[in-house]
Amino acid sequence: MKKATSSSTLGPEGLDIAQSFFKPIQGAYPQSPSSRNIKITVVGVGNVGMAIAQTILTQGIANEIALVDVNVDKLRGEMLDLQHAAAFLPRTKISASADYSNTRGSDLVIVTAGARQITGESRLNLLQRNLSLFSKVIPPLAAKSPDSIFLIVSNPVDVLTYVAWKLSGFPSNRVIGSGTNLDSSRFRFLIADHLDLNAQDVQAFIVGEHGDSSVALWSSISVGGVPILSFLERQEIAYEKQTLEKIHKEVVEGAYEVISLKGYTSWAIGYSVASLARTILRDQRSIHPVSVLAKGFYGIDGGEVFLSLPAQLGRSGVLGVTNVHLTDEEAAQLRESARTILEVQGQLGI
C-alpha cells in the first residue's frame, strides 16, 4: 500500500511552496530538527486501535502516529479519515502501512492486534493463535524501534504482555500491559456513583489479572484523602462485605455488558491507553495499575508473571511498583491471581 506523506512541493516542476510562501526574518538561523518529536505506533486498526489513535490525536500527545494493519484497504481508509480532520486537530503527521518500516523510530508502540475467539474455541487455543500472531508482529517492531516502550492492549493482556517481553528481548521496564487501568477506572466510577461525587476524587485500585481473578483493594480506597473503610468503622456505620463484592463483580462484568449491548468496547479503553501514553511520554511519573513483571512483589514467586500492580510510569517505562499496604486476604487473593496466570502461561510452552 502506498503510504501517504506530507509534501511542501506542488506542480510538475516541484515548486517548493514552503520556501516561496514564507519569507525568513533577517538574521535567522536555519531551522534545526526538533529533539522533542514524539512518534507513536498503533498496531491494529480495529475498534480498539482506532479509539486509541483518535484519543491520542485529539489530546495532542504525539507529533506523529503510524498505523499498522494487514487489512490494507481499511488501514488506508482509517488513515485518510483521520487526515481529513486535520483542520480541527493539533498538527500531527499520520501515516499508515502494512510494512513495519513505517514504525521505525517510534517512542511508544501500542499493540492492539489479536485473534478473535471463534464460537466454541477454548481459551488455550485462542492463546496459541495469538502467540503465533505475536511471533510475527513483535520481533520486527522491536527491530525497527529498539529503544521504544511496548504497551500491550491485546487480550488476554497479562499473558500476551509476558509473550511480548520474551519475544522483544526488551528489559522488563519497557514492556507494559494496559492491565487493570480501565478496571480501576470502572471501580472509581462505581464508588463515585454510590457517593455522588467526582470519580477523580476517588483513589482506588483493581490489581492482579485483567479478568475474573482480579482483586479489589478495598483496604486502601480513599475519597478526598479519607480512607473509606476506616471512616465507616470510626463512625460506626455498618456495611456488608456482600455489598463490596457486588461492586467488584460489576467491575469484572462491565466489559461483558458493554460488548453484549454494542458489540465491542472502544471509548473507555481509548481514554485509558491515551492516559498511559501521556504519562509515559511526558514523564509525568503518575501511578497507574498496569501489567508489569510482578515476581518478587507481595510474595509472588514460582515464575515470571505479568499482572497489574500500582506502578509509577515515566519516560523509561516502569519506574517502580508502589508499596501499597494489603491485608492478608488481599495479598492471598493477589498470589492466587498470579497462580491462575502462571497456569495458563505454562501451557503455552514458551
Q: Is 208 annotated as a binding residue?
A: no
Give the model's pLDDT for residue 268. 95
Q: How far apart are CA 289 and CA 322, in angstroms?
A: 10
Taking 60 as the threshold, does the pLDDT of residue 140 lie above it?
Answer: yes
Q: Is 45 annotated as a binding residue?
A: yes
Question: Percent of the chain at pLDDT above 70?
Answer: 86
3-class SS at 120? Answer: coil
Q: The domain 180-347 is classified under which CATH number: 3.90.110.10, 3.90.1150.10, 1.10.10.60, 3.30.470.20?
A: 3.90.110.10
Q: How far apart are CA 171 and CA 160, in angstroms?
A: 16
- Grid cell, residue 304, equals 515470571
Residue 310: asked if its preceding bond is cis (omega within 30°), the reply is: no
Give the model's pLDDT for residue 255. 86
Q: Is 37 annotated as a binding residue?
A: no
348 near 131, Cβ under 8 Å?
A: yes
Under the banding of pLDDT at 50, 70 and 90, the label for residue 28 is low
Taking 80 as the threshold, does the pLDDT of residue 5 lie above it?
Answer: no
pLDDT tens digits along 202-217: 899 999 999 888 999 9
Length of the chain: 350
Q: Where are the alpha helices (DSSP H) in 13-172?
A: 17-21, 47-58, 72-83, 123-144, 157-168
Q: Is 47 annotated as a binding residue?
A: yes
Under the banding of pLDDT at 50, 70 and 90, the label for residue 227 is confident
Segment 78-106 mean pLDDT = 96
Question: Percent of the chain at pLDDT above 90?
Answer: 62
Average pLDDT, the chain: 88
Taking 90 as the threshold, does the pLDDT of residue 302 lie above it?
Answer: no
pLDDT tens digits along 230-246: 777 776 666 667 777 88
- Grid cell, residue 139, equals 520481533
Q: Which of 125-129, 255-259, 288-292 has the highest mean pLDDT?
A: 288-292
- Grid cell, residue 131, equals 502467540
Q: Is 346 annotated as a binding residue?
A: no
Q: How far apart are CA 180 and CA 251, in angstroms?
A: 10
Out of 84, 210, 288, 325, the active site residue is 210
- Grid cell, residue 103, equals 514504525
Segment 43-54 mean pLDDT = 97
Count of helix runs (H) and strand runs (E) in the chain = 10, 16
Q: How far apart are CA 88 and CA 347, in angstroms?
A: 49
Q: How far apart are CA 223 and CA 178, in angstroms?
A: 24
Segment 317-341 mean pLDDT = 93
Give the model's pLDDT for residue 220. 87
End-to-end CA distance of the chain: 34
Segment 132-150 mean pLDDT = 96
Q: How far apart are CA 15 and CA 225, in angstroms?
A: 61
Q: Is 153 annotated as a binding residue?
A: yes
Q: Is 44 annotated as a binding residue?
A: yes
Q: Is 154 annotated as a binding residue?
A: yes
Q: What is the pTM of this model?
A: 0.88
Q: How far apart are CA 258 and CA 299, in angstroms?
A: 35
Residue ranges with strand state E in the chain: 9-10, 15-16, 39-43, 64-68, 93-96, 108-111, 149-152, 175-177, 202-203, 206-207, 215-216, 222-223, 226-227, 287-293, 306-314, 317-321
3 near 76, Cβ under 8 Å?
A: no
Q: Is 196 annotated as a binding residue?
A: no
Name the fold adopted by 36-177: Rossmann fold (3.40.50)
Under the banding of pLDDT at 50, 70 and 90, the label for residue 57 is very high
Task: Give catalytic status of residue 248 as yes or no.
Answer: no
66 near 41, Cβ under 8 Å?
A: yes
Give the model's pLDDT for residue 119. 67
- Grid cell, residue 152, equals 500491550
Q: How far apart are CA 141 and CA 34, in angstroms?
A: 24
Taking 80 as the threshold, does the pLDDT of residue 39 lie above it?
Answer: yes
160 near 134, Cβ under 8 Å?
A: yes
Give the model's pLDDT for residue 225. 83
Residue spans of the domains in the chain: they are 36-177, 180-347
Contacts of 253 (CB under 8 A, 6+ apart): none
Q: How far apart are CA 126 and CA 309, in angstroms?
A: 25
Taking 70 as the threshold, does the pLDDT of residue 179 lie above it?
Answer: yes
